[in-house]
Amino acid sequence: MPTGILPAFGPSAGNLATDVSRQQLETEIDAVATGKNRAGREEKLQKACQGFEAIMINVILQEMRKSIPDDGLLPASNASHTWQQLFDNQLAETLASRQEMGVAKLLYQQLQDAEVERK
C-alpha cells in the first residue's frame, strides 16, 4: 500500500524515467515505514548520529579558536580563516568517525530505545 507522500505527476509533466524513479522512491519509503529495510535504516541512523557528533565537535573547535588571539606570526586573512574552517570540519568528521567521544553511540542507543518503545 503506497504511502502517498510523493505528489502525483500528470501526463504532461511526467515521463517514464520520472514514473520509474517515483515508483522506486515510494517502494523505498514503504520498506522503511514497514521495517523491511531495517539494516539500511540502522546504518542511516548511525551515520546521522555521527554527523551530529561531528557538528558538535566542530562547534567546540570554533569556540576554542575564538579564545586564541589573532596576534600571531602571520596576519589573519580570509584565506587563513577559510583554511581553518575546512581543517576544523575535516578534524570534526574524523574525530566523530572514530567514536572516541561517545556522543554518537549514546545518541544512537537513545534513539533505538525510543523506537522500540514507540512500537
pTM exceeds cut of 0.75: no
Q: State the total domains in the chain.
A: 2
Q: At residue 93, does pLDDT exceed 90? A: yes
**Between 36 and 1, the higher pLDDT residue:** 36
Q: At residue 74, does pLDDT exceed 90? A: no
Q: Is 84 exposed, middle or buried (0-12, 13-18, 19+ CB in 10 A)?
A: middle
Shared-domain flag, residues 95 and 110: yes
Q: Judge whether 53 and 96 are in contact, CB under 8 Å.
A: yes
Shared-domain flag, residues 48 and 89: yes
Shared-domain flag, residues 67 and 90: yes
Range of the domain at 1: 1-36
Shared-domain flag, residues 78 and 109: yes
How far apart are alpha carbons 100 and 58 in whole angstroms?
Answer: 15
How far apart are alpha carbons 107 and 100 in whole angstroms?
Answer: 14
Shared-domain flag, residues 48 and 98: yes
Q: At residue 1, does pLDDT exceed 60? A: no
The grid coordinates of residue 97 equal: 568517525
Identify the band that residue 10 occupies on the pLDDT scale cut at 50, 70 and 90: very low
Q: Which amino acid type is present at position 64?
A: M
Identify the band that residue 18 occupies on the pLDDT scale cut at 50, 70 and 90: low
